[in-house]
Chains A and B, each alone.
Chain A
């Protein structure tokens, strides 16, 4: 996992830190408990050896020939089983400071072996501990003690297989690590659960934001934890402010248009009817200024609009309003405007004004060019709206259609406002991620199709 992923995910951050901490605690606990038990078992082992040595000492007597013998055999069954794991041996000490390892007496468990204990002589009462090789290559823990009975000096040795000590430790360790492993898994699962449950509001936040982005809501809605509420409220106020800014931009754009166009009207009317150079210049320039104002006004408004998330517009209402308007404006042409039944709940993901601007231009063109009939249909295709406007007019030759639309693509190089307003429509549609296509209509004229994002 690279550092960016670690920084980038709250879940991974929380999980990673918790898991590292859990793992460290478990390793430390396992090591601590293990060594505690090991030292406990070692102490017990040595204590047992000591007990056996004491028992051996207590039962040691000399027989009639002065040879050491046991008054009572030692009771532990391991001592009587060959290589049973517990051994004893008695050596004679020839004189002070001298040692003869002659193994005067041995436990039955030693069979034919001898405990090779280093030649040292403990002082009276001293107990020495050794680690020596035993039968079958085992390692033995041994204790020895020097005893004098009736001037006979003897060395008593008791030894036990270290496995007697190692086996309980390794059994304990196995159980310990299993238990700690289960504990670790449980803790890890709890940590995961905590992260998932703890971070669930963030997913909720993302969904709420998605609904705003998708045009299903104008504000982030829902109950959020106290820690997230300030964020949600701030975001909602930004959304509101954004909508206000757009509304203000529209109003200002409208005011600007009004402020410019009334003087333009005065100029155009003053120049009108006179046929000198100045008058023709004024009329031409006024017309150009009007187109520039229209074009940039439409673009400015549209650019502001698509940044308002959550806007959605019923298509049917916009179409009906425009059809009423067309019927009035083109009343003299006695056209049949037919709106094919569309699902009443078709929604455009965007501002009503922009939909009206796009459809209005297409419908106005169709009404201007139609011979007798204009048809409008709208349908939904996945997450796209497909709105078609057809007329039975002369249409546009297929090789000129592209140019009609493209004229608006590079506004700085072209005369804006020309080309039936299609350039403006296309620009607007593109700002929304849609497009305009032109084709021949079955009615005989032009079919303009507007592809736009639909809102759910």
Chain B
């Protein structure tokens, strides 16, 4: 899952980036409104953590521009201005949730998980596909109750496929969601991760759709 983190205060941005990365997310950072708008508009982002007080273009304006352009990724607003007046304005601008500073990292992660889950139409924090279960809170994948040992990249690929069960996910799409923007992307590595996952998962769970990409679906 790829998160766009928009925060202008460098120390807080670094803390948040570290916290998000530790939770298994791929993090792209923007430190002003204009960069944030461009990245959210052009990159494949799964969710945004958006500070409202930003240089160059304020967060509400950025959010409104995204929504006007049809960008529907979940947005969690992060701000010190936490009056209900500001919250209503933020939600009406298109935000999905609101977190007041100062906050606990766990709270941020929990809200973010819930947003991503709801965006994919999942009600529970545990995603299942046949015998496979993925707990988005603990990052544990189990098959028939047996825990799988996954590397962080394998987890990211699996989590993205689980959130988009039944859909065909292209190789480029996967690359975009498991690597940060400035990473040297090589779509061939995706094939390696898929191959490793197939060895750890029950057979025929991940299908290859020739020329299009992969699909995770329960065999029946």
Chain A interfacial positions (CB closer than 8 Å to B): 254, 257-262, 264-270, 272-273, 286-287, 290, 294, 297-298, 301, 321-322, 324-325, 328-329, 331-332, 352-353, 356-357, 359-361, 364
Contacts and interface: CB of A to CB of B under 8 A. Distances in A.
B9 interface: yes
Interface string B1-24: 000000001011001100100000
Contacts of B53: 258
Nearest to B86: A254
A329 B91 contact: yes
B88 A329 contact: no
B12 A262 contact: yes
Given A269-B12, A324-B91, A352 B102 contact: no
Contacts of B103: 265, 268
A328 B96 contact: yes
B101 to A, nearest CB: 4
Given A352-B85, A360-B84, A265 B12 contact: yes
A262 B16 CA distance: 12
B83 A301 contact: yes
B95 interface: yes
Given A259-B80, A325-B92, 19 more contacts: A254-B83, A254-B86, A257-B80, A258-B80, A261-B101, A262-B80, A267-B102, A270-B15, A272-B104, A321-B88, A321-B92, A324-B88, A328-B91, A328-B96, A329-B91, A332-B118, A356-B83, A360-B84, A360-B88
Nearest to A286: B102
Contacts of B12: 262, 265-266, 269
A405 to B, nearest CB: 19
Contacts of B88: 321-322, 324-325, 356, 360
B81 A268 contact: no
A325 B84 contact: yes
30 contacts: A258-B53, A258-B79, A261-B101, A262-B9, A262-B12, A265-B12, A265-B102, A266-B15, A267-B102, A269-B16, A269-B105, A272-B105, A287-B102, A297-B83, A298-B83, A301-B83, A322-B84, A324-B91, A324-B92, A325-B84, A325-B88, A325-B92, A328-B97, A331-B96, A331-B118, A332-B114, A352-B85, A353-B85, A360-B87, A361-B84
Contacts of B85: 352-353, 356-357
A301 B53 CA distance: 20
Contacts of B105: 269, 272-273
A267 B103 CA distance: 10
B98 interface: yes
A261 B86 CA distance: 15
A258 B80 CA distance: 5
A294 B82 contact: yes
Interface-central residue, A286, A360, A361, by most chain B CB under 10 Å: A360
A321 B89 CA distance: 8
B101 A262 contact: yes
A264 B118 CA distance: 30
A329 B82 CA distance: 13
Contacts of A254: 80-81, 83, 86
B64 to A, nearest CB: 15
Nearest to B115: A331
Nearest to B125: A332
Contact of B19 (A269, A294, A301): A269
A325 B104 CA distance: 22
Interface-central residue, B53, B88, B103, B105, by most chain A CB under 10 Å: B88
A290 B80 CA distance: 10
Contacts of A265: 12, 101-103
Interface in B87-134: 87-88, 91-92, 95-98, 100-105, 114, 118
- The 9 nearest A-B residue pairs measured at CB: A360-B84, A261-B80, A258-B80, A265-B102, A261-B101, A264-B102, A269-B15, A325-B91, A321-B88
Contacts of B19: 269
Contacts of B87: 325, 329, 360
Nearest to A323: B88
B105 to A, nearest CB: 6
B70 to A, nearest CB: 19
Contacts of A325: 84, 87-88, 91-92, 98
A219 to B, nearest CB: 24
Interface-central residue, A268, A324, A328, A356, by most chain B CB under 10 Å: A328
A266 B11 contact: yes
Contacts of A329: 87, 91, 97-98
A75 B88 CA distance: 115
A261 B53 CA distance: 12
Given A272-B104, A332-B118, A257 B84 contact: no
Nearest to A361: B84
Contacts of A270: 15
